[in-house]
Chains A and B, each alone.
Chain A
């Protein structure tokens, strides 16, 4: 490990050794800058919790070619299910692909266990020359004459000065708020994810999800799985464990008075889910805040001497079809790193020069994706899509496939009957179709 220069002044201070922080540290360290990477937990990944599905394999491949050969990955994802759930039935769309984009290097996505993955990714930053400082909590930024010049840590004589601070300290970022870049997030802009990791031996996973070798599967559930709470649930297959969790919008949780833990138990007991978990033994339980309303909620990302990236910047796209955070974290981290390197080249760290970061976010397709799907979060969290349509779909399929001697009905009359039963108005349906189209089709 290259011992960093003994001065207590750093060119770049990155706060938070998650995907965003480590990516920024790698880019800046590779450019020869004197980089400090601070992590609150005993090791990178101790405090980081996310659904552990990583869709940015190709992105990371640019930063670290062939990364999956060295990194601790669980399974490559080549099968995805989206499942509409009602209390007793489930209607699912099953996608499986053996095409090279999915089933051959650089693969499309992986399931990972964050504690192991983050630790490996931060080690790459150290290898690139960044100085990793763990078990240290950053209490705030140091500001002089309206310019961020360092950070204050929760240890004696805990002041470190640096030209640029890149805040990657997760959703509800304390540093961004303290620097005035981000207001406190409202309850409907945040979701609470409650996750469990259940141990299950490899052979049973392969047999139960019919996967062979290192193939992996992602199942995402929408509808009554969260019992009137707006949100969804997921189940990912790891090598010898399952990650499963429930995500509920905080405002909706507060309204319904439901506890996330109860929702998780409800989800695990659902007839479509329980058989998948039989014999699995609880290993870990954790909770995590997810910034969800995307484009609308984007904070100011730049101040003089400071950038915000990753979840701290709200870069978490949850559109029902996609639940992706880690890839955008990495992209924003790399963009912030590049902006910091360029600022150092011109030795100017004012907000004006650092705005380069936001410009870079377009070619890095962070802003492009978020703007394209700016309507999706609102649409996905709509009351009707969350609870009404899944029931309708389940009821109509139930009706469709039941053989009870009565005359068979065509799909449209059947669907209209299901709609009347569930009290949905046709004009709502049309409005929703339009909204869906705007969100996804064009």
Chain B
């Protein structure tokens, strides 16, 4: 089985110091690390690797991005590849996915592509799906657990508000990992020294058979950065068509509907039955659908 893992170099949130007045990040003091979600994906890939399997790591970025590939090689990845177009200074999710897809096709399509569900940099979370589009593969995002069974992958994925769902997807596929709590293993000295020595191959546009034209996407014209200005959440507003007296009443009760208050007293058996009856009346005890 051939596994590919896409990694990215992102600013370490602990070292990001945003100027609260201008929103600029002080680049001097920002440290860059491998994105934690990508690291979790790499750790899962390394755990999945059987004897005859290989794990290849790729990244899109300038020479500084080699650091994540070296860290991956030190952790035990079999081979590493950096993709970059020297004419660019920054990249967009669409460009990154296009380069990754092109490289994967060039090097021979793997059976599975793993990556993080969302990066700590601009954090678009679009790359897994875009990659799936350019490879015409199915995609699953926010995966917390996975198990490979023949040509299919069984997975758990994380939904909003603590809900979860189980599913399966045919291989080959793109899986975006959201397993927080999984950390990349700690490299031994020989592996680390070898990784530091390794020469990281670079593929640019011509190698990938792409021309700059392929990478032109409708760019948003203005792109300003501001310190976070939280957006007003919904809040109870007294109905201004009511009389002042009624509006004051609504303010005093903080908008809560008046409660029909009932107080009971009696032996524990009776009280327990009363509570159960009340819960049944409000539909808390019928089985979830």
The residue in chain A whose Cβ has the minimal distance to the Cβ of B188 is A156
Asked if B197 and A157 make an inter-chain contact with CB atoms under 8 angstroms apart, the answer reads no
Q: Among A3, A4, A42, A72, point to the contact of B31 (Cβ < 8 A).
A: A42
A155 interface hit (Cβ, 8 Å): yes
A153 interface hit (Cβ, 8 Å): yes
Q: How large is the interface on A (under 10, 10 to 19, 20 to 34, 35 or more residues)?
A: 20 to 34
CB proximity of A73 to chain B, nearest CB, Å: 12
A116 interface hit (Cβ, 8 Å): yes
With A3-B197, A6-B197, A133-B196: A153-B189 Cβ-Cβ less than 8 Å: yes
A315 interface hit (Cβ, 8 Å): no
Asked if B189 and A283 make an inter-chain contact with CB atoms under 8 angstroms apart, the answer reads no
Asked if A136 and B29 make an inter-chain contact with CB atoms under 8 angstroms apart, the answer reads no
A139-180 CB contacts (< 8 Å) to partner B: 153, 155-160
Asked if B190 and A157 make an inter-chain contact with CB atoms under 8 angstroms apart, the answer reads yes
Asked if B189 and A158 make an inter-chain contact with CB atoms under 8 angstroms apart, the answer reads yes
Asked if A116 and B28 make an inter-chain contact with CB atoms under 8 angstroms apart, the answer reads yes
CB proximity of A171 to chain B, nearest CB, Å: 25
A357 interface hit (Cβ, 8 Å): no
The residue in chain B whose Cβ has the minimal distance to the Cβ of A46 is B31
Q: A127 CA to B188 CA in the complex, in Å?
A: 25
Asked if B190 and A136 make an inter-chain contact with CB atoms under 8 angstroms apart, the answer reads no
Asked if B193 and A283 make an inter-chain contact with CB atoms under 8 angstroms apart, the answer reads no
With A113-B28, A116-B28, A283-B29: A3-B192 Cβ-Cβ less than 8 Å: no
CB proximity of B80 to chain A, nearest CB, Å: 15
Q: A3 CA to B31 CA in the complex, in Å?
A: 25
Give chain A residues whose Cβ lies under 8 Å from the Cβ of B197.
3-4, 6, 131
Asked if A157 and B188 make an inter-chain contact with CB atoms under 8 angstroms apart, the answer reads yes
Asked if A157 and B28 make an inter-chain contact with CB atoms under 8 angstroms apart, the answer reads no
Q: A136 CA to B71 CA in the complex, in Å?
A: 13
B169 interface hit (Cβ, 8 Å): no
A299 interface hit (Cβ, 8 Å): no
Q: Among A6, A42, A116, A136, point to the contact of B189 (Cβ < 8 A).
A: A136
Asked if B190 and A3 make an inter-chain contact with CB atoms under 8 angstroms apart, the answer reads no
The residue in chain A whose Cβ has the minimal distance to the Cβ of B31 is A42
B199 interface hit (Cβ, 8 Å): yes
Asked if A155 and B29 make an inter-chain contact with CB atoms under 8 angstroms apart, the answer reads no
Q: How large is the interface on B (under 10, 10 to 19, 20 to 34, 35 or more residues)?
A: 10 to 19
Give chain B residues whose Cβ lies under 8 Å from the Cβ of A153.
189
Give chain B residues whose Cβ lies under 8 Å from the Cβ of A155.
186-189, 192
Give chain B residues whose Cβ lies under 8 Å from the Cβ of A3.
197, 199
B38-86 CB contacts (< 8 Å) to partner A: none
The residue in chain B whose Cβ has the minimal distance to the Cβ of A134 is B196
Q: A113 CA to B196 CA in the complex, in Å?
A: 27
A320 interface hit (Cβ, 8 Å): no
A115 interface hit (Cβ, 8 Å): yes
Asked if A283 and B17 make an inter-chain contact with CB atoms under 8 angstroms apart, the answer reads yes
Q: A42 CA to B189 CA in the complex, in Å?
A: 15
B247-264 CB contacts (< 8 Å) to partner A: none
Q: A137 CA to B193 CA in the complex, in Å?
A: 14
The residue in chain A whose Cβ has the minimal distance to the Cβ of B194 is A6
Give chain A residues whose Cβ lies under 8 Å from the Cβ of B26.
199, 283
CB proximity of B128 to chain A, nearest CB, Å: 28
Give chain B residues whose Cβ lies under 8 Å from the Cβ of A284.
29
Q: A136 CA to B189 CA in the complex, in Å?
A: 9
Q: A8 CA to B191 CA in the complex, in Å?
A: 12
Asked if A133 and B192 make an inter-chain contact with CB atoms under 8 angstroms apart, the answer reads yes
Q: A415 CA to B19 CA in the complex, in Å?
A: 50
Asked if A136 and B192 make an inter-chain contact with CB atoms under 8 angstroms apart, the answer reads yes
Q: A156 CA to B190 CA in the complex, in Å?
A: 8
Interface centre among A113, A115, A155 (most CB of B within 10 A): A155
The residue in chain B whose Cβ has the minimal distance to the Cβ of A5 is B197
A4-36 CB contacts (< 8 Å) to partner B: 4, 6, 8
B158-201 CB contacts (< 8 Å) to partner A: 186-190, 192-193, 196-197, 199
Give chain B residues whose Cβ lies under 8 Å from the Cβ of A159.
189
Q: A42 CA to B33 CA in the complex, in Å?
A: 10
CB proximity of A311 to chain B, nearest CB, Å: 24
Q: A153 CA to B186 CA in the complex, in Å?
A: 13
Interface centre among B188, B189, B190, B193 (most CB of A within 10 A): B189
Asked if A156 and B189 make an inter-chain contact with CB atoms under 8 angstroms apart, the answer reads yes
CB proximity of A380 to chain B, nearest CB, Å: 33
B1-40 CB contacts (< 8 Å) to partner A: 17, 19, 26, 28-29, 31
Q: A133 CA to B19 CA in the complex, in Å?
A: 33
Q: A370 CA to B204 CA in the complex, in Å?
A: 56
Q: A43 CA to B29 CA in the complex, in Å?
A: 12
CB proximity of B149 to chain A, nearest CB, Å: 33
Asked if B29 and A115 make an inter-chain contact with CB atoms under 8 angstroms apart, the answer reads yes
Q: A132 CA to B196 CA in the complex, in Å?
A: 9
B196-220 CB contacts (< 8 Å) to partner A: 196-197, 199
CB proximity of A2 to chain B, nearest CB, Å: 10
The residue in chain B whose Cβ has the minimal distance to the Cβ of A154 is B189
Give chain A residues whose Cβ lies under 8 Å from the Cβ of B192.
133, 136, 155
Q: A131 CA to B192 CA in the complex, in Å?
A: 12
8 sampled A-B residue pairs with Cβ under 8 A: A72-B28, A131-B197, A132-B196, A156-B188, A156-B189, A159-B189, A283-B17, A283-B26
A8-B193, A160-B189 are known; give 7 further A-B pairs, CB within 8 A: A42-B31, A133-B193, A136-B189, A156-B188, A158-B189, A159-B189, A283-B17
Top 10 nearest A-B pairs (CB, nearest first) are: A156-B188, A155-B189, A158-B189, A3-B197, A157-B189, A157-B188, A157-B190, A155-B188, A153-B189, A283-B17
